[in-house]
Structure formats: structure tokens, C-alpha cells
Amino acid sequence: MIVPGSSSQPLAAALAEETGRPLATATYDRFPDGERLAAVPEFAGEEAVVVASTDSDEAWVELLQLQDAVREAGAERVTTVLPYMGYARQDESFRDGQPVSARAMARAVSTGTDRVVLVNPHEPGVADFYDVPVETVDAAGVLAASLSDLRDPLFLAPDEGAIGIAETVRDAYGRGETDHFEKHRDRETGAVAVSPSDASVVDRDVVVVDDIVATGSTMSEAVDVLVDRGAERVVAACVHPMLAANAVTKLRAAGVDRIVGTDTIERGCSVVSVAPVLTEALAAGAAAEEG
Ligand code: R5P
């Protein structure tokens, strides 16, 4: 049984279809004082796969409730899929007195599940914060399906951390070069500056690939530099299209041609699904347990 969190309903439905598993009609209610109540139908003797991106504080609460609800409803085994794990960027205590928020969230999630599947977490190390087995999947390759007819393509990572996924997308697309910028972010102001590489972009289509577009500062800086340097078209591609606040406007103002993302966070630009990658991960997990 696939059990969707409220913000992951399209992905959960796609996953149910891909895997042939039934889709639970969960409900999401709210009391007058603001407290939430997520619930699931009765089922017994099955594995419940809770699919819930934690892209808001409400989504975290809902996830913990769904994990508890499926046990109450009779699930023998619970797998938790976090298509997008919020708080993963708070993977250390940056100043005295601050929490390691990713660890706190992971510990809470671990209490209600037998296993966790993460899609492109911001830092792979966050997997170690869970107290149950974790599988981390790289779904960036599905972005290639949203790209076609690229002219002399360059797949560019806006910082060193994204080189791997830029290569994944290039490999899935089948041709093109890869390169990366150097990035500096001012911790106080959040302002981002990127130092261009030597790669020539004149008359080329450039796909800037990142794990997440959050405020859009990183991506819009990269787009701005590339447009200035004469790129033909610049596409912004990311696994997690958070697109908070005025990110879309910043990207448009910088001259982006298109924004493409997956359905780990449902947005207007979520043009490809990670469901096939999650299907493989669930099948591999089941096979490993049987073996
Ligand atoms: C940073 O290392 C990440 O890969 C992203 O580049 C970053 O988190 C994006 O954040 P924003 O959109 O706020 O610049």
C-alpha cells in the first residue's frame, strides 16, 4: 500500500501505478486550533510505503502522524520515502547553541519506520543520522527526458557539490560536455557569487544542474553569468524545485529559457517523475530482504 503525504499525492499515485501497489486514500484534517490529523484506511498484513516530502513544518508533523496511523491500521512493515528531505541543509551545528536539525528530524522519523529511502539529499551524510537502514537514490537522470534538441550542450554545475548530478544528467541525455563554477555564499546575507569556468558558452545551450533551487540565488547568478557570456539558451534543471519566495522571478530576470524539475516537490515546472527510480529502489530493497 502506498500512502501519500498531502504534498506528495501526484508522485505517490505515479508510484502506485509503476509498482502495481494499491494507493491509500489518506485524509488530512485540521482542528480549529491549527493542529493536524492525518489518517489512513484500515489494512492488514502489508507493507505500508509512506511517501511524503517534508517541504514544510506541517509536512513533518503529517509524516509522523501517517507513520503512526499505518501501524494502527495494521501495517506489519513501514517504509518511509522522503522524495525531498527538508532540513537536510542543516546538517551541522554552524554556531554554538544551534541544533543539528537534520539529525533531530532523522531521529524522529526513525521511530516510526523500518526503513527510509531518500532522493538526492542535500548532503549524503544525513543518511547516517537515521537509526534504521537508509537507501539514498540519485534521481537526477530523469531530468534528461525533459531536454531535447540541445545545441552543442554544456551541462554545468553551479558549484563543486553538483558536479556529480550534472554528469548524471549529461550521461542520461547521451551527449555534451560538463563543467562547474565555483560558488561563494555570504553566510550573513545569503548573497551568492559564482566564478565562471573557462568553458566557452557562446552559441551553446547550457543546462545548469543543481540538486535544489531554493531561493534561486545560486541558479540565477549562474544564469546571469552565462547569458552575459553569450550562451544561446540557458535551462535551469534541478531535482528539487523548491522555488521559494521570488526564485522564479529572479530566474526569469536573469534570462533563463526554461526551468525544469522533478515531482519530489510539486511545482509548475515538475515535468518529470522520480517514480521509476523509486520503483527500482523499492524492488531492490524487497529483494535484499528476501535474499
Ligand atoms: C548548495 O550547495 C546547493 O546545491 C544549492 O546550490 C543551494 O542550496 C541552492 O540554494 P539557493 O537556491 O537558495 O541558492
**Percent share of the chain, pLDDT over 90:** 89
List of residues 6+ apart from 235 with CB closer than 8 A: 147, 205, 206, 207, 208, 256, 257, 258, 259, 260
Q: In the block, which residue shows the cell 494499491?
A: 22
Per-residue pLDDT for 187 more than 80? Answer: no
DSSP string for residues in 158-201 = SSGGGHHHHHHHHHHH---EEEE-EEEE-TTT--EEEE--S---
Distances from the Cα of 207 to the Cαs of 121, 214, 223, 243, in angstroms?
Answer: 21, 17, 9, 17
Name which of 52, 43, 53 is nearest 22 in CA terms: 43
Ligand 1 pocket, residue 223 CB under 6 Å: no
Is 29 flagged in the annotation as binding? Answer: no
Range(s) within the chain of domains with CATH label 3.40.50.2020: 2-138+274-290, 141-272
Segment 244-264, tens digit of pLDDT: 999 999 999 999 999 999 999
What is the assigned CATH class of domain 141-272?
A: alpha beta
Segment 135-177, tens digit of pLDDT: 999 999 999 999 999 999 999 999 999 999 999 999 999 999 9
Q: Residue 125 — very low, low, confident or very high, per pLDDT cuts 50/70/90?
A: very high
Q: Which residue's alpha carbon is nearest to atom 2 within ligand 1?
A: 161
List of residues 6+ apart from 239 with CB closer than 8 A: 119, 120, 139, 140, 143, 165, 211, 212, 261, 262, 264, 274
Q: Which residue has the higher pLDDT, 126 or 41?
A: 126
Is 203 flagged in the annotation as binding? Answer: no
Burial of 75-111, coded b for 16+ CB within 10 Å and e otherwise, reads: beebbbbbbbbbbbbbbeeeeeeeebbbbebbeebbe
Half-sphere exposure of 113 (CA within 13 A, CB side): 27
CATH placement of domain 2-138+274-290 = 3.40.50.2020
Q: Residue 231 — very low, low, confident or very high, per pLDDT cuts 50/70/90?
A: very high
- What's the pLDDT at 135? 97
Instruction: At 248, list the grid cell.
Output: 522564479
Segment 44-80, tens digit of pLDDT: 778 999 999 999 999 999 999 999 999 999 999 999 9
Segment 83-103, tens digit of pLDDT: 999 999 999 999 999 999 999
Per-residue pLDDT for 196 more than 90? Answer: no
Tally of residues, the chain: 291
Q: Tell me which residues are annotated as active site.
A: 183
Ligand 1 pocket, residue 162 CB under 6 Å: yes
